[in-house]
């Protein structure tokens, strides 16, 4: 997917961004290790992600780090079970933050294959009712 460049990072190494399956929800997660609200929400997002994966629901999260040093990115992303935009791709992260009018973190946005936002308020939707969030996100994909 052009808006994410050519590669993402997984626990096993690099993967092409073209491997993302946009027939399922794809969420971009803007966060930083230095922000307590981000750390708290990351735990909720990991629980949600792992639960949906255990139910064989297709879902992908892509971490967009707002950390200022790679050592903080590495430490924080190590805990995450999903993909990450490489730390070196700061220009991509900055472009996406601008595109989605990022004002505060944590910020979770659902996107389509062109990088257009399907839902900008995913953070609140997930926190309001995690048991219904996946169905809501999946519903946006099929529209």
pLDDT tens digits, 91-106:
999 999 999 999 999 9
Q: Is the pLDDT of residue 1 over 80?
A: no
Looking at the DSSP assignment, which residues form a beta bridge with residue 29?
Answer: 63, 108
pLDDT tens digits, 61-84:
999 999 999 999 999 999 999 999
- Per this entry, what is the length of the chain? 143
CATH class of segment(s) 24-141: alpha beta
> CA torsion sign, 87 to 114 to 6 to 79?
positive
Q: How far is 134 from 59, CA to CA, in rounded Å?
A: 8
Q: Is the pLDDT of residue 20 over 80?
A: yes
This prediction's pTM: 0.95
**Per-residue pLDDT, 4:** 83
pLDDT tens digits, 34-49:
999 999 999 999 999 9
Q: Where are the domains of the chain?
A: 24-141
Q: How far is 86 from 8, CA to CA, in rounded Å?
A: 6
**Per-residue pLDDT, 81:** 97
How large is the average pLDDT for residues 5-22?
Answer: 90
């Amino acid at each position: 997917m052009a808006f994410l460049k050519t590669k993402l990072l997984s626990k096993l190494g690099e993967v092409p961004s073209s491997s993302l399956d946009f027939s399922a929800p794809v969420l971009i997660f803007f966060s930083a290790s230095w922000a307590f609200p981000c750390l708290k929400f990351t735990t909720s997002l990991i629980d949600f992600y792992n639960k949906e994966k255990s139910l064989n629901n297709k879902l992908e999260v892509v971490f967009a780090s707002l950390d200022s040093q790679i050592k903080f990115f590495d430490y924080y992303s190590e805990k995450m079970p999903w993909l990450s935009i490489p730390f070196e791709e700061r220009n991509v992260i900055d472009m996406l933050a601008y595109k989605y009018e990022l004002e505060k973190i944590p910020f979770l946005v659902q996107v389509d294959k062109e990088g257009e936002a399907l839902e900008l308020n995913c953070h609140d939707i997930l926190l309001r009712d995690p048991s219904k969030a996946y169905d809501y996100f999946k519903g946006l994909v099929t529209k």
